[in-house]
Amino acid sequence: MAATGYYRYDPENYHGPLHFYAVYVSTRLFGRNLLALRLPAVVASLGCVVAGLLFAPYLGRSVALVGAFAIAISPAFVFYGRYSIHESWQVLFLMLSTLSVFMLTSKRENRRNGWPLLGLSMAGLAVTKETFIIHLGTGIIAAALLWAVGRLIPRLEWRFELDKAALEWRQIAQGLYLFTLFAGMLFSGFLVYPEGVLDFFRSFGFWFKTGFDNACGHGKPPWYWLELMACYEWVMLAGLCATLVCWFPGCAKLRWFSLSAAGVFLAYSLIPYKTPWCLISIVWPLPFILGTLALRLPFGLRAWGLRSCILAAIVGLWPCVRLNFFRHSDPQEPFVYVQTSPEISRFTGPLLALVSSDPRRYSLSGAVYLDGPYPLPWLLGDFHAIGYFEGGLRPASFNFDFVVAEQWRAREIEQAFEEDYYFIDFQLRDGRPPVRAWFRAAMFAGVFWEREPEIRANKETAE
């Protein structure tokens, strides 16, 4: 993006351009560091808590507080809310799109503003992640089902439809305009790459193939989400149970909300491709539904029901604290999934120590001889002379200031060295072979001043 000025959307990536633009702006403002990398996702995650409070006019102040509080201390939301991934953005726009539906089906004066909000939030979903189609589809199916039942059995009062006063064509046009402008600009690279708009539609073919055909090594059983919720998300699990009984007589939008949430859970369960961070996109409505059920209890039990919801959320603080402060990198934790190991600092530490003393060292030569080197391309993005060799590619020689490769390549590489080198072993990610990094002694002697080079030059090779 720094070279071209825009993000070239790749339909095989299954992710929209929004998060990449946000990270680019953050790193330009604050530098290439962990805070700048995580900041956009953190902002979106905090936005989810604020968005939860905006449900107060439609679900009640107490329900909105319970829902926002449950999201704020949810183990999954706290853990993945600082991941530099798209999920927090998706949840934020899902909440705003649901809020717009509540506005359009209400009798409140601001109901017409639901169309611009719907346009913006749907555009936000489109430019975030292709899985938004699951939520859109289940929402439409739930609305159609309730409308059909209401038509067939009028006495049930199950019809779910927009308020007639909300059908203002000017406001509808504003929503369509905002959707087209927001989504079109980002997918087209601000009109530099128009093919990106067409690639958006092509992406669904790749997504369906990955989700159902091969799952790319991420295939899980249908009960996977239940296992995660039983391990971490007890309030959300109770909310899922509430969707089975919350048919809310006389309140069509709450019935739609509950049916949509149950439909999304079912859809994600049936799709073989599953990664744990998708959980937050599934469970966010559940504490609101649980809180609404508490308010539907007999009058004398309502306060007890809401207090029980809050107490359950507070009890859920223990897995949240344990995961996020003590076991955040433990591969035995189900949420710790294909995650970069903290051991990577053993490799980046000497590099950063060297360039902090002399910024000219950003011109160090390096070879990353790994299959699947991520996140090293991002971490080493400020270095100007690094080669990446994967997919069978091999450096012509190993005369670099540093080399990174799987440990099983050590014999091949060390025999080719023409100078002395230090080395450090580390784990890049769980499930990957151990990695070794070599540092040229002549360059890094000041960093490793307490030790002698472990690898001595191969004199035959040098000659």
Per domain, the residue ranges of the chain are 11-326, 342-462
The segments of the chain whose pLDDT lies below 70 read 14, 108-110, 154-167, 207, 210-217, 246-250, 297-302, 458-463
Mean pLDDT of the chain: 85
Query: Quick one: pLDDT at residue 55?
Result: 94
Query: Quick one: pLDDT at residue 161?
Result: 61
Question: pTM of the full predicted structure?
Answer: 0.87
CA dist 173 to 96, 97, 116, 179, Å?
19, 17, 8, 10
Q: Specify the amino acid at residue 351.
A: L
Query: Quick one: pLDDT at residue 461?
Result: 46
The position carrying tokens 């003590």 is: 326
Query: Quick one: pLDDT at residue 462?
Result: 45
Written as six digits, the tokens of 267 are 């859809």
Name the β-bridge partners of 405: 369, 436
Contact predicate 439/422, CB 8 Å: yes
Written as six digits, the tokens of 299 are 């009058």
